[in-house]
Structures are given as C-alpha cells and as structure tokens.
Structure 1
Amino acid sequence: MTLLMLKAIRLPITVLFFVILSGCSTLHKNNIDAPQVIFSTEDGMPIIAFNTELRLTIDLVAVDRLAKSAKLTQEEWLIEYFSATNRDAFSPDSEFFKLADIVSDNDLKVTKIYIEELARYITQAYFACKQPLYYEYFQQRYAFYKEDFFCDSAVPFDLLSRYSSNNIIYIDPNRVRDIHIVFASKDNNMMSKFGHISLRFVICPEAKSSKAECDANLYQHIVLGYMAHIDDIKINSIKGVLGGYKAYLYANSFMDVYQKYTISEFRDLYSLPLNLDQKEREEMLRALAEIHWGYVGDYKFINRNCSTLMQIALTAISHKFAKEPSLNHLYWRPDHFFQTLKETNISDAAQLEDLQLAESNGYYFPSTEPIYKRAFEVVQEAMVTTSYTSLSDYLIASPIERVNTVKNNHEYMNKLAKNDYLLEAQLLLEELSLIKSESLMNAEMGYFFDEYGVDDIKVHMMKNLDAKAYDVFSDCVLKPMLAVIQPKKRSHGIPTVESFKASAIDDSCQMEVKANSLKQVNAELEALDPEKWASVKLAVYYWLITIENITNYKALRG
C-alpha cells in the first residue's frame, strides 16, 4: 500500500498502520481464552476487539477522539476503517446477502451496504427501532449491545392514495389487532393471471377497541403489497418477464384496494388471518416498515413477483414462516402460495370455510360484478333499443357514445327523470365507468413518464415553463406520478417524525386559480411527444366527459 493510497483513504497513518498489521488475521468462531484485539492505539490500548464470548467491543470514546482528529464523525470513521481493513469478521456473509436482497436497494453493492449499516449499528442509539431487521442480524453476529431496546414510537408508512401524493400515516402497534394475508382472485391481465397477494393490517379505532370494532374500522385498515411501478393495464409483457420494471412494497388504504379489485376489476378478495400474538404483530409491522422505506428491486413476472417477494420477506421476518416446512419451496404463483398458507398452522383458514359467514365477518369481499350486471339489465330493459349486448360492451364504449345513446332516446330520458330506481342504476354504471376511466388515465400517464423518462421530462418542463407553471407541474403532476413510479426511499431505515416536518401536502390542484397553469403544463407535455401523449390526452378527456355525464344525471334527481 503506497502513501498515495493511504492519503486517499483519509485515515490517519497510525490507524492504517494497525489496519495493515491486523488485516491478515481471521477471527475463529470458537470461544477464545483471551480477548482478540482487532485494532488498538500505539500504546497497545484496545479500541476494537472481540472478548472471550466473541462479543464485539469498541471504545467509542477513543473512536470519537480519532474521528475528530480526522475531521470525521464516528460513523464516517468506522465506515472508512471497515472499508480499509480486509477481515472476514467485518464482511457480509451469505445470510446478510439474503437479507440485503429484501431490505435494501438492489442497485447498491452489498459490501457497501454492510459496512455502512454496521457503522450505524454501532453508533446510532435508535438503530434497533429504525432498522430492526439489520439490527437483529448484527446483534446475532456481534452482540454489541447487552440490553434490548424498547421502541415506543408509531410506525410511519408512505400511503399511496388516489387523492394525495404525499400521505404519511403513522400506525400505533398497539392498535394493530390482526394481520391478514389478502388474496385477490385471478384477472385476465398477464401480471394478474394467478391472482395477487398482499398483507392487511387490521387497525383498531383505539388500542382498547373490541374485535368487532376493529374489524369494522375498514377505512383505517392498511394493505402492504409488492407491485411493479407501472400499472398492469399498460405493462410491457417482455419487460414484465425478463425485467425492466422496479418492484416496491407499496402501502395502500384497504378501501382503495377494495375498490380496485372488487369494483374496478371484478375480482374476489379473501382475507386470511395469521395466528400472531401482539409481540409478533409489532415485530412484523416494524420489519415491514423497514422494507417499505428501503427496498427497491427488479420486478419479474416469474421469479420476482408479489408472491415470491412476499414469501421471502415473511420468511426473513417471522420465525413461524421460516420454520414452516411447506414454505421451503418458493411459490411464484400467488394462488399456490395462498393455498399453501391456508393449510398451515400459521393461518386461521377456518374463517374462510363458509364464504357467506366470512363475508359477514369481513374475511371475504366478493366481486361486485353481479350488482353492476343487474344495473345494466335494468337500464337495458328500460332503453328497449340499444347497441350494448353486455355490461362489458357498455364499459368499452366511449363516454360520448354512451351519453349520446341516452340523449337520442327521448322516451328513456323521460323515464330517467321519473324513475329513481332506473336513475340510480344509470348512475351506478356511469360511476363504474369513471372508476375504470380513472385507472386507465393513471396507467397511461405512468406509462408516458416511464417510457419517455422522468429526467428528460423535467428538463423540458423547466426549460419551457415559467416558475409559477413549473411549480404547478411539480405539485400537481410530477409528485403524484413519482409517488407511484419512484416512491420515496431512504437507505437508512424507518424515517423519524422530524424528517417529515418540512413536507407539506398540496391539495389545491383542483383550484381554479391553477387552471391556466395546468393548461400550460398539458400543452408542454403534448409538445414533448405528441404521439405518445395522445393516449394520455384521450384518457383524460374521457375521464372529464364521464364526470360531466354523472353531474348531468344527478341533476335529474327530484
């Protein structure tokens, strides 16, 4: 090692001298008769050592002194020390590689993650609460801390909402009554051909609420699930199979999930309770939060999908899942994973044996298709002559075609004005069309941003919009889109409350004062690539016409 190399590492020469002297020895995993000194001062005082029980010991006062002399923090000094030394004792093993694969950004080097997280484990007082999975790993390996940490704070999640691009919620572990595996039945889309699997947190109104009150508190229930960053309505099949999309552990409100699957996609939802005690539920909550805030990985339809990623995560988090023999096999099909879980003692499958009872108890949410089919039949009978032969035909038709069909049928219009039941059926169909139109609009927008490139779009908009219009673009278009395709990630675990104080939620994008700026934004996005923007523009236009249709129908109410 040359002096130039020593200088590049920025560690004091005396530190590097001991790094070099101690770098060739290895630490045996048997108990030792005397402490093994890894790094010491020039006069022989140990700074980093393993005691006779193989517990890592570090003199943080001495580390602080050395760090200050090098104008570094303790964490920075340890990172540079671990980077400079070449010891198996401070290198990732196979278990850490598995853990990093499910906890951190997969684009980062595992050795870099290991060194940085080890330094934080040693120096950060709340590491156990911010990064519980990494803390458990390091504690098992190094046993640096003699006492367990108690985490009493609520756990934050970045909720992906239909109505907000920045919705940080906090979950009190004491209010989590149950955790369920949620299975959405199959769909015709390629990525949903075998269903979708996720987790549902049953959150109580208060810590002392009854089970019935907790189960009924649906609007506060949260669902966590792995998904590709592009809606499967517009997903590229080749990229879905071979790779090209990013997977994240998204958080959604249960009611949004309910609407997406049972209403928009006509799929059944099964909610399977897991047999977990309060301690296990809290551990799972905090561990999943660490993954939610840190994980970014490749999404692949066959081997890196919602099912395999969830199985790997739950196995890493829960000893019950890790010890279950039937889960030694990795299930790439969500339906097979769900069926296997039903047959284990981990879950309470009895709750789904009688689906009628399960629906009453909040464990089964059937597709709403029969309701909308009945509404279509009511409208069809009253309209007498129509070109729609099925509900799907009606939903495929453009909102302009739909409303013109009604306006041109004067007899039907009179019936709508006089028959409340018929009017409600017509409204129900148009509101369903709105939900599907909204899904398509968001999918088209996400596809445009992903295909064209967020950075290129930002450069173009910054160049061609004034400051006011760019702020509107940032708040009303870019931020909501990035919440889906590039969720906020932090490589240092669960964020603290303080880190969100500067984040303000802008809910004024519907205000008239921003209308002119939004028109400018739309014009510039279209100018960027008229051909690619055309499908987005059409989807937005149909969405607006559908809203207008609903408003006009509601005006017929007496």
Structure 2
Amino acid sequence: MAADEQADRLYAAIMQVDALQPDARFDQVEQLVAGDAPHDRAAYARELAGFLSVADYPCRHPAYAYYFAQRYGSSVSYGACSDSVPFFLFDRKQGGRLVHIRPDHVSSIHVMFSSGGDSLASRFGHVSLRLIVCPDGPVTAERCERNLFEHVVLGYMARVDGLQINPLKGMVGGYAARLQGMSFMEAYRANTLLDDRNLYSVPLKMDHAQVEQIVRELSEVHWRYRGDYRFFTNNCATLLQDALAQMVAGYASDDELARGYLRPDTFFAALRHSPLVDARWLDKPAEAEARGYYFPSNRPYYRQARELIAAASQDSPAATLDQYASTPAKLRLQNILSDVRLKEAFAKDAHVLDAQILLEEYTLMQLQSMLTQRTIELLSRHDVVAGLSDLAADLGPAPEREFFTQCYLEPLAALHRQLPRADGIPDDAFLDAHYRQAVDCNDIGERLKVSGLVAARMQQIEPGFIALRDIGRQIDLTLANISMLKGLM
C-alpha cells in the first residue's frame, strides 16, 4: 500500500476514534510551527496519521514527531534523515543564500539581545537566537565559539511590504511575522558597525540531544511559520518567549519568565538572571567580550579617533563624526594634506595616522551602506524591475543571460518576496525549484560584462541611477584616500 493511501486510511480511522483528540499541548505545537493556522481535530488527525505511516515524517516535521512521541510513549529517530537541515539567510547586499546546518555540529544555542536603536521598531532592542555552528574538524567549545562566520542568527521579524514602516500597521497588525535567518556577521555589522548598538549573547543550558532537537524544530518553524506581527504585543520578544516555552525544558515552569514580557529589553533582563542560561560573564564586560558573549558598538572607537585627529589638527571647531563622514572625499583629502600640524602628528605618532585611516574606513562603510539602501529603494520600483527583466531577453549569449538572471534578478526578487512556505522542512526538490544556482556569481569576467549592460539600461529607465553612480564615485575616492594614507605608514 502506498504511503499516501495508508495515511489517508489512518486519517479516516483516527477521525472515528473519540479518544484521539488534540490536547492543549498540540495546539501549542501547532501555533509554534504554523502560526496562524487553524487548530482543529482534522489537523491533529492529519499529523498523527503522518507520524504513524510516513517513514520520513520526523525528517520533515520534527516538532510534531517529538510531540507525538512524548504523548504516546515512543521515541523519535533521525537516523534516516539528511545530516543537515536548511535555512535561508537574508543578505541585504545579495538577497540571501541557502545554507545547510548539521544539528550535530551546533554546540550550543544562545539568546542574543541587541540594545535599543533610534527607530520606533528598534527602540526597545531586539532578541533572537544564535546557533553556535562548529567548523569542520575536532569539536571544542573554543573552536565553535570562535567560528563566527558560520554562526546563524534566527529571529522573529515583520515582513515589511515596502521601504518605510507604517507605524499604525505595525501597532494594529497587518505585517506578516516569520522566523528570519541571517549570518551572525550580518547581524554584527548591522548592529555594532552601522548602528550604535551593543550585542549580548548568553547560552541556554541544554544537553547536546536537546540542542539537536531544537535546531531541527527551528528549521521547521523557519520554513512553515507565518503569523501576525505587532510592534508592542506580538513582536520578536513575545514570539520568541512562546517558542522557548515549547522548545526548552523547564522554561514554562520558571515563575519569573512565565510572567511574559512585551519588550525585548525587559525580557532579556529577566532571562539573564534565570537558571536556564549561563550569563555570569555579562557582569564582566572585558571577559564577556573575549569569550564572544558581548560585542560592543564600535561607535565609541570612531569617536575617539575623531577626537584624536581634532586634537592634532589646526582646524577649529572640529567636525563631528557624522559631519566628517558626509564631507566629500576630495575635500577630506585636501583638508588632510593642507593641515601642517596634522601631517607633523602623523610623522611623530603612528596612532594619529591609524586614527585618520580608521575615520576613512568608517566613512567607506557608511557610503557602502548608503549605496546598498538606495539601490534597494530604486530596484523595488516595479518599472525599474520590469526594465531590468526586459534586459534578460536582450542579452545575447546564454551564459550572460544565466549570469544576469541568477546573480542580479533572483537576488533582487529575494529582497522583496516572501520566503516560500513549505509544509515542514523542505526536501531537495523544493529547494532546487526555488534556490538553484548553477553559475558562479563571483566570476569577475562575467560580472564586468553584465554590469556594464545593467548600468546602461538603468540610465535609460531611471535618471536617479546617476545619484547611485555619484555614491559609487565617492566610494572609489575614499578607497584611494585609504590607500594613500596607508602609504605614509
């Protein structure tokens, strides 16, 4: 008998047995995994039938499989499953990328808090989960914790369907909530380098089997969950608390955490004093930073560099850090070269020259962020997207068309589309249909050929593209400034 037919018969049989009813725990699992999906007996019967008859059910639905195993006294085995589970990591520059994480290569799971920002959506901070992914080779805690470039951050976020957040919509509902992924380095860059925010990271106390189970469940939630995001009542903090209450043993019985917190900052303040996490190092910032539990904002270092340059310079009054970064690159260089006192300071103290280079690197980072943001704003317009889509038909050789489609159009679409929703952890066929990449987007030769054509088409369809070229020119001149200053070392 085919698996689907067997599942259908079991479903019909389960619906006839009054004793087989969903309980409160099933509703909680359903809410965790599917979000706003209806909670009824049919859903329960459908999942139970799959658990009893489909061989790879635990591979696709680990949260449900674990629930049924706990309720009916059986066990869950992932021996027949793939060694890894997929996540799609958002990337503001390239749209995003698909990664596969081996649950047995995740040494621990942290709760990560970024301190408050200036916007309405970030005023009280943001909380997320950080998967400590180990490198290949011998597994040690130190090697895993230092493997920052492979760490993955997962947090509940609003799917904003525009360039500007609508405050009213954010408060009363209308934005879709999802468990979004990004690399740790993307989160680090966005918070501590581009914004003036600190990152705090504390490990949850779990054994390795619990970590592996939760990583699988997070993949299921990542691909299936859709909810309603509200800034003050159904946000990153409340949704994460609900998830932790279902996934982490002992969370629901912690009286302090069971109170529930609407704000990310108050939730993290309560969590760091809970026995469920190891937060002892946060009281010692220097040691916490050395261990990878605390990542302070880099803004103070840039301000110190600006103050050092101001003290060594003949200019008065000194420009602020933001004023310096907004000054055209040529004028910045002219000011440096014409300042006799500053050049003397360069010769006497290498730290002054280092500070000047740091300011140029800060400016470069801000310019690159500005270029990325304005490019996204421009390319979000339907007429611009349509114009670029037409370009694909005009490209001659097939390799150029394929390169343009996979390295330009598809990343652009990824910035604006919903993550495809799968019924559980997706299989290879689903992923291949949505995330194929048969070309090397880092091929310099192809990129140079195609980028020239894209630039020419952009100038035809959008005059605002010239402003992007101006920012690009400032980036080139800033790079030249840095090169010149390093030549003085």
Query: Which SS does the other structure have where 2:110 is aligned?
Result: strand
User: Is 1:545 equivalent to 2:474 in the alignment?
Assistant: yes
Matched, 1:337 2:267: yes
Corresponding position of 1:299: 229
The aligned residue for residue 492 of structure 1 is: 423
Counterpart Cα distance in 2 of 1:262 and 1:201: 19
Residue among 365, 368, 374 paired with 1:435: 365
Q: 1:206 to 1:437 in 2, by over 3 A?
A: same
Normalising by structure 1, we get a TM-score of 0.73
Stretch of structure 1 that moved more, 125-134 or 204-213: 204-213
Residue 345 of structure 1: how far off its partner (Å): 1.0
> Judging changes above 3 Å, is the alpha-carbon distance between structure 1 residues 556 and 147 closer, same or farther for their aligned structure 2 residues?
closer
Instruction: Choose which of 319, 322, 332 in structure 2 pairs with 1:392.
Output: 322
Cα deviation, residue 483, structure 1: 3.2
**1:402 positional shift:** 4.3
Alignment partner, residue 283 of structure 2: 353
Give the C-alpha shift of residue 245 in structure 1: 3.0
Shift of 1:300: 1.8
Q: CA separation in 2, counterparts of 1:120 and 1:524?
A: 55
Structure 1 contact 104–295 (Cα < 8 Å) conserved:
yes
Offset at residue 89 of structure 1 (A): 7.2
Q: 3-state SS of the aligned residue for 1:495? A: coil
Which residue does the alignment assign to 1:156? 86
How many residue pairs get aligned? The number is 472
Amino acid in structure 2 at the alignment position of 1:517: L
Q: Tell me the CA shift for residue 241 of structure 1.
A: 2.3
Task: Please name the residue that 1:554 is paired with.
Answer: 483
Q: For residues 101-124 of structure 1, what are the alpha-carbon distances to aligned partners after superposition, in whole Å with 9 as ceiling and x for unaligned?
A: 332364x65568667655543443
**Which residue of the partner structure matches residue 320 of structure 1?**
250
* 1:223 positional shift: 1.7
Describe the superposition over 1:397-448 as per-residue Cα deviations: whole angstroms up to 9, x where unpaired.
25xx343243256424993996565444333223223333333444445456
Higher relative contact order (CA 8 A, sep 6+): 2
> For 1:356-392, what per-residue CA distance to the aligned partner results, in whole angstroms no more than 9, with x for missing partners?
2212222112221221112212333444226753213
Conservation of the 8 A alpha-carbon contact between 2:65 and 2:76: no
Say yes or no: does 1:407 pair with 2:338: no
Q: In structure 2, how many angstroms separate the alpha carbons of the residues matched to 1:190 and 1:382?
A: 39
Is 2:434 the counterpart of 1:507?
A: no
Amino acid at match of 2:176: K
Aligned to 1:289: 219
* Amino acid across the alignment from 1:403: K
Distance 2:330 2:47 in 1: 59
Which residue, out of 144, 148, 152, partners 1:214?
144
**Which range moves more in the overlay, 364-373 or 424-433?**
424-433
Question: Do the aligned partners of residues 351 and 426 (structure 1) sit closer, same or farther apart at CA in structure 2, a change above 3 Å counting?
Answer: same
Cα distance change of structure 1 residues 471 and 186 upon mapping to structure 2, 3 Å threshold: same
Q: Secondary structure at the match of 1:197?
A: strand
Going from structure 1 to structure 2, the CA distance change for 1:370 and 1:138 (only over 3 Å counts) comes to: same
Q: Secondary structure at the match of 1:320?
A: coil
Give the 3 Å change call, closer, same or farther, for CA 242–435 of structure 1 in structure 2.
farther
Please name the residue that 2:132 is paired with.
202
C-alpha displacement at 1:291, in angstroms? 1.0
**Contact 1:179–1:281 (CA<8 Å) still a contact in 2?**
yes
Determine the structure 2 residue equivalent to 1:33: none
Match of 1:209, SS state, is coil
1:176 to 100, 106, 125: 106
In 1, Cα distance between the equivalents of 2:89 and 2:249? 27
Q: Structure 1 residues 155 and 261, CA, compared in 2 at 3 Å: closer, same or farther? A: same
What are the superposed Cα offsets for residues 249-279 of structure 1, whole Å, 9 maximum, x if unpaired? 2222222222221111121111112111111
| 8 Å Cα contact 1:416/1:423 also seen in 2 | no
Letter in 1 for 2:258: N
CA RMSD of aligned residues (A): 3.8
CA contact (8 A) 2:238 2:262 kept: yes
CA distance in structure 1 between the aligned counterparts of 2:368 and 2:140, rounded to whole angstroms: 37
- Counterpart of 1:522, as a letter, is M
Gaps of at least 5 residues in structure 1 are: 1-60, 68-72
| Uncovered stretches (5+) of structure 2, i.e. residues with no partner | none
Q: Calculate the TM-score normalised by the size of structure 2.
A: 0.82
Instruction: Indicate conservation of the 8 Å contact 2:7/2:50, yes or no.
Output: no
> Structure 1 pair 118/537, CA: closer, same or farther in 2 (3 Å)?
farther
Q: 1:362, 1:404 → 2: CA distance?
A: 39
